[in-house]
């Protein structure tokens, strides 16, 4: 019941009316206090996102002071002493200047003593060379453009019977200007080094070559078309993973029908160690249709945030997709709630720190999946039991719409998926691998700012396939330009094939290199076309002889005997 408006000059004297007025003022004050707290929480988040550090670090002493007593009091008895794991010797990094990599080319420069100084200053005898002092200095050789003048030799029968002309190897862009290395350099600079095309045109101009931004953009479109079968094969293998991690990030996209840019989404899908491929996808919005289409053939564990678009996948028994939640997302909720409720937030951060300490121990001891699951059952499950009990105990004492209330609701609402990682040693505690794979997009959009249209990034013919190819070598520390050059050459040779099945057939064909000359006719599974191979090393450098493979230890995409 709303009280009657009161004149300040003539206050009521009725006791019941005064009590009702006080209750109304108290309710209004509490509502305003909650509103102020919520606005302060959002202001703190915005200031931290704009000016604060990206790392969500909490002082360990603060964790101990706030959380030790609460955690001990919540247990039935004193917390058991954790079993001391055998100490693992951690190699210490040396101090000072690091040794230069052995694979770098070395050029020796010898400095001789002048002839006038090759005599002993005491007895004037001729000095004899007894050795040398060696040191290394790192130098940079600037990249340069060269012009390949291709000449095809022509041979004619002296009797006028026939004329034959040597055949050039197929190029990534038929009758186009760029070679495979130049095309790979532009793609790696754009998608791995986040260098926009207009800056690359300025770099080429300094070398005396004028290339328009539209020309480079067309090259990237053709390059994306070339690698589309390879990306389709990567997607096929990534979806065969037992555990697939996924995440998404917003990107600005121009829309001529709107007065401002719209928000599109780039999705990442990271395979497990047995299928170490990262594939990117683009959707013009964040509806569930995008991931539902991409994950159509997938069945297994899907680790992601609590995005509601995945719920239909989890509920469908035919799909066989099991939800695994991310503790990093849960931790972020409580980290952001520190300003509103430091006591409860830091207690949960301390609990989560204990969970990650178990994971760190498993990594230090290099445990396999079976041993890691056993360690989690022994050490992590009791901690999770305590966390659940603490959340259920504190939830009635907080407002549901408060920052800490939303964090507690998020954790309890996804609790079954949060504890699922303890059931299988192949599962991770979070999907930070997927978040790390999107770091390049986050850095790149600060440089290129926006996409020109949905077509500019939508697969299979534009930016997303090129990003998938460039993103995988970057994640495995490969020599990107050399790898991309091999892929560009490989894709050019496979141009007659337009489907991933034929492309896979092409990759699997064995070749013999012992002969001086050979013409190889490939007609398997509909793959038609004639590949003329040059002699010896040129054939080995241009074409693969083994199946496409990927070595996470640094070998990269392997398309020939030497790898890429």
User: Which of 307, 357, 315, 326 lies closest to 243 in space, CA to CA?
Assistant: 326
pLDDT tens per residue across span 432-477? 999 998 888 888 888 888 888 877 766 655 556 666 666 554 444 3
Q: Which of 285-294, 416-425, 485-494 has the lowest mean pLDDT?
A: 485-494
pLDDT per position as a tens digit, 118-165:
888 888 888 888 888 888 888 888 888 889 888 999 999 988 889 999
Residue 300's pLDDT band (boundaries 50, 70, 90)?
A: very high
Q: Which of 129-143, 288-302, 520-534 comes out lowest in average pLDDT?
A: 520-534
Other beta carbons less than 10 A from residue 306's beta carbon = 17
pLDDT(370) > 90 = yes
- Which residues, listed in sequence order, are joined to residue 278 by a DSSP beta bridge? 270
Percent of the chain residues past pLDDT 70, beyond the cut: 71
Instruction: Identify the burial level of 525 via C-beta atoms within 10 angstroms of its C-beta, where 0-12 means exposed, 13-18 middle and 19 or more buried.
Output: middle
Q: Is 496's pLDDT higher than 50?
A: no
Query: Are the beta carbons of 269 and 294 closer than 8 angstroms?
Result: yes
pLDDT of residue 536: 35
Tokens of 367: 């445990």
Q: Which of 129-138, 151-160, 351-360, 512-521 has the least mean pLDDT?
A: 512-521
| Residues 423-433 as b or e (16 or more Cβ within 10 Å = b) | ebbbbbbbbeb
pLDDT on residue 12: 73
pLDDT score, position 227: 84
Least confident of 62-76, 344-358, 380-394: 62-76
**Rounded to an integer, what distance in angstroms lies between the CA atom of residue 364 and that of residue 352?**
19
Long-range contacts of 239-242 (CB under 8 A, 24+ apart): 239/269, 239/271, 239/295, 239/297, 239/298, 240/271, 240/275, 241/271, 241/272, 241/274, 241/275, 241/300, 242/272, 242/274, 242/300, 242/301, 242/426
How far is 134 from 139, CA to CA, in rounded Å? 16
Task: Determine which of 44-53, 279-288, 357-366 has the lowest per-residue pLDDT on average.
Answer: 44-53
Q: Which residue has the higher pLDDT, 456 or 32?
A: 32
Q: Residue 66: pLDDT band by 50, 70, 90 thresholds?
A: low
Instruction: Identify the burial level of 284 via C-beta atoms within 10 angstroms of its C-beta, where 0-12 means exposed, 13-18 middle and 19 or more buried.
Output: middle
pLDDT band at 63 (very low <50, low <70, confident <90, very high): low
Tell me what the mean pLDDT of segment 271-293 comes to.
90
pLDDT at 65: 52
Beta-bridged to residue 451, according to DSSP, are 253
| pLDDT beyond 80 at 256 | yes
- Res 360: pLDDT: 93
Inform me whether the pLDDT recorded for 532 exceeds 50: no
Q: Which residue has the higher pLDDT, 89 or 221?
A: 221
Per mean pLDDT, which range of 41-55, 189-203, 411-425, 471-485 is the poorest? Answer: 471-485
Q: Residue 68: its pLDDT value, please?
A: 53
Of the listed ranges 92-96, 177-181, 383-387, 429-433, the least confidently predicted one is 92-96
DSSP 357-426: HHHHHHHHTT--HHHHHHHIIIIIHHHHHHHHHHHHHHGGGS-TTSHHHHHHHHHHHTHHHHSGGGG-TT
Beta bridge partners of 530: 521
Which pLDDT band holds residue 554 (cuts at 50, 70, 90)? very low
27-41, 138-152, 207-221, 356-370: range with lowest mean pLDDT: 27-41
Asked if the model's pLDDT at residue 343 lies above 80, the reply is yes
pTM above 0.85, yes or no: no
Q: Which residue has the higher pLDDT, 466 or 187?
A: 187
CA distance linking residue 340 with residue 336, whole number of Å: 8
Statement: residue 368 has pLDDT above 80: yes
Residue holding tokens 């829309």? 255
| Per-residue pLDDT at 88 | 52
Q: Are 519 and 532 in contact (CB under 8 A)?
A: yes
Helix (H) or strand (E) run with residue 190 in it: helix 180-191
Specify the pLDDT at position 18: 77
Mean pLDDT of the chain: 76
Q: Is the pLDDT of residue 309 over 80?
A: yes
């Amino acid at each position: 019941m709303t009280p009657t408006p009161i004149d300040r000059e003539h206050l009521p004297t009725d006791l019941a009316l005064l009590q009702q007025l006080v209750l109304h003022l108290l309710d209004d004050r509490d509502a305003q206090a909650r509103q102020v707290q919520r606005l302060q929480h959002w202001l703190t988040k915005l200031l931290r996102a704009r000016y604060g550090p990206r790392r969500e670090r909490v002082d360990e002493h603060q964790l101990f002071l706030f959380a030790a007593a609460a955690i001990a009091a919540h247990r039935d008895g004193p917390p058991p002493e954790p079993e001391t794991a055998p100490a693992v010797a951690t190699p210490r990094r040396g101090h000072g200047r690091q040794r230069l990599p052995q694979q770098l080319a070395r050029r020796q420069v010898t400095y001789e003593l002048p002839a006038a100084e090759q005599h002993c200053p005491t007895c004037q005898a001729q000095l004899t060379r007894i050795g040398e002092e060696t040191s290394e200095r790192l130098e940079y050789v600037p990249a340069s453009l060269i012009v390949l003048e291709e000449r095809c030799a022509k041979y004619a029968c002296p009797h006028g019977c026939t004329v034959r002309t040597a055949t050039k190897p197929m190029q990534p862009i038929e009758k186009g200007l760029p070679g495979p290395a130049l095309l790979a350099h532009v793609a790696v600079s754009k998608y791995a080094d986040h260098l926009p095309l207009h800056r690359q045109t300025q770099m080429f101009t300094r070398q005396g070559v004028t290339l328009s931004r539209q020309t480079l953009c067309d090259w990237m479109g053709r390059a994306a078309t070339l690698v589309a079968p390879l990306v389709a094969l990567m997607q096929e293998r990534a979806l065969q993973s037992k555990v697939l991690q996924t995440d998404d990030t917003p990107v600005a996209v121009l829309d001529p029908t709107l007065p401002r840019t719209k928000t599109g989404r780039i999705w990442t899908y990271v395979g497990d160690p047995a299928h170490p491929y990262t594939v990117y996808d683009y959707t013009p919005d964040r509806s569930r249709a995008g991931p539902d289409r991409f994950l159509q053939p997938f069945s297994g564990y899907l680790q992601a945030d609590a995005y509601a678009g995945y719920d239909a996948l989890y509920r469908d028994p035919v799909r066989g997709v099991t939800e695994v939640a991310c503790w990093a997302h849960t931790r972020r909720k409580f980290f952001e709630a520190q300003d509103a409720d430091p006591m409860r937030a830091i207690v949960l951060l301390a609990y989560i720190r204990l969970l990650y300490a178990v994971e760190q121990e498993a990594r230090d001891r290099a445990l396999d999946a079976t041993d890691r699951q056993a360690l989690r059952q022994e050490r992590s499950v009791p901690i999770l039991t305590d966390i659940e009990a603490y959340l259920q105990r504190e939830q009635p004492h907080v407002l549901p719409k408060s920052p800490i209330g939303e964090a507690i609701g998020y954790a309890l609402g996804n609790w079954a998926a949060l504890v699922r990682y303890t059931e299988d040693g192949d599962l991770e505690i979070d999907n930070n691998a997927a978040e790390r794979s999107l770091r390049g997009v986050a850095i790149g959009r600060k440089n290129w700012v926006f996409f020109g249209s949905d077509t500019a990034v939508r697969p299979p013919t534009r930016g997303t396939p090129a990003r998938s190819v460039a993103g995988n070598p970057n994640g495995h520390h490969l020599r990107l330009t050399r790898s991309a050059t091999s892929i560009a050459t490989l894709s050019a040779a496979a141009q007659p094939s337009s489907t991933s099945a034929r492309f896979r057939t092409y990759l699997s064909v064995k070749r013999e290199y012992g002969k001086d000359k050979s013409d190889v006719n490939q007609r398997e599974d509909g793959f038609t076309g004639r590949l003329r191979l040059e002699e010896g090393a040129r054939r080995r450098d241009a074409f693969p002889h083994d199946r496409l493979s990927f070595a996470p230890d640094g070998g990269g995409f392997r398309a020939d005997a030497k790898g890429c």
